[in-house]
Amino acid sequence: MTIVGVPAGWPATEEQARAVQDELRGRVVLDEPGPPPGTGRVTGVDVAYDDDLDLVAAAAVVLDAATLEVVAEATAVGRVSFPYVPGLLAFREVPTVRAALDRLPCPPGLVVCDGYGLAHPRRFGLASHLGVLTDLPTIGVAKNPFTFTYDDPEPARGRSVPLLAGTEEVGRALRTRDGVKPVFVSVGHRVSLDNALAHTLALTPRFRLPETTRRADALCRRALREAAAEAAGPAAQDSTTRQPPTS
C-alpha cells in the first residue's frame, strides 16, 4: 500500500490554513458557465477516514455525463493532513483527493464534491479549494446547509430556493426528488450557479444524491476498509469506517 504523504509546506496550524484560504480565495473564477450538463465527463470525489489509524481514503469516479456509466475510477490513501477544525476540512482532504484525481487515466471534466464551494463561512470550501489548485471546473453538492438559512423549496423535483448568509446568496437548496429533503448546491470554480443546479439535476435521475457522490462514497469506503485491513491486520476486516463532516 502506497501512502500519500503530506505535501511540503502544508499548513499545520489554523492561522496558517486561514492565511492560505485568504490567498487562494481571490483566484476563484466566477464568470465562466462551465461545461454543458449531459456532455463530456463528470467526476465525483469523496473521502472516508479511519482516525485511529490516521488514514484517509479518497476516491475519484468518472462518469459519462450522458449515460452516467462509469468511465474510470481511482483511489488514494494518505495520512490525515490537518486536525479537525470546522471550516478548514479541505486541508484534511485535498492532498489525498488530488492524488486520486492524478491517478485517473483520463481527464475528469467537471468535478462534483460532496461538500461546499462558496457556501462556506469563508466562501472557500473544498470545491473551491480543489478547483483553484487543479484549475478544473468544480461544484459542491452537500447533504446539509452548514450554517446557512433557506426557505423550504416547493416539493416538486427541480424547485430551488436561495441558500443565504444574511442577505447574500451563497448557493441554492435544490429538490432532486419530489417531496424529499433538498441538497445544497454551490459554485466551486469555473461554473455558474445555474449550471451547477442543472448538472446536479442531470446527476440525480433516481436518488437524492448525485450518482457521482454515490459511486465515489462507495469506492472510498471500500478503499479505506482495504487499507485499514492491510495496516492493522486481519482483525480490521470487521471494523467499521466513519465518514467525516463535509467541508
Q: How many CA atoms, within 13 angstroms, populate the side-chain half-sphere of residue 114? A: 28
- C-alpha 139/C-alpha 221 separation (Å) is 22
44: left (phi over 0), alpha (psi -120 to 50) or beta: beta
Please give the span between the terminal C-alpha atoms of the chain, in angstroms, as a whole number.
Answer: 27
DSSP 8-state secondary structure symbol assigned to residue 177: S
Q: How many CB atoms lie within 10 A of CB 244?
A: 18
Q: Is 46 annotated as a binding residue?
A: yes
- C-alpha 204/C-alpha 212 separation (Å) is 9
The 3-state DSSP class for residue 171 equals: strand
Q: Is 194 annotated as a binding residue?
A: no
Strands 138-142, 183-189: pairing kind = antiparallel
Output Rg (C-alpha) for the chain, integer angstroms. Answer: 17
Alpha helix ranges (H) inside the chain: 14-25, 90-102, 126-134, 193-202, 211-232
- Cell numbers 450538463 correspond to what residue? 37
- C-alpha 200/C-alpha 211 separation (Å) is 9
Q: Which residues are annotated as a binding site?
A: 46, 114
Q: Which residues are annotated as a binding site for Mg(2+)?
A: 46, 114
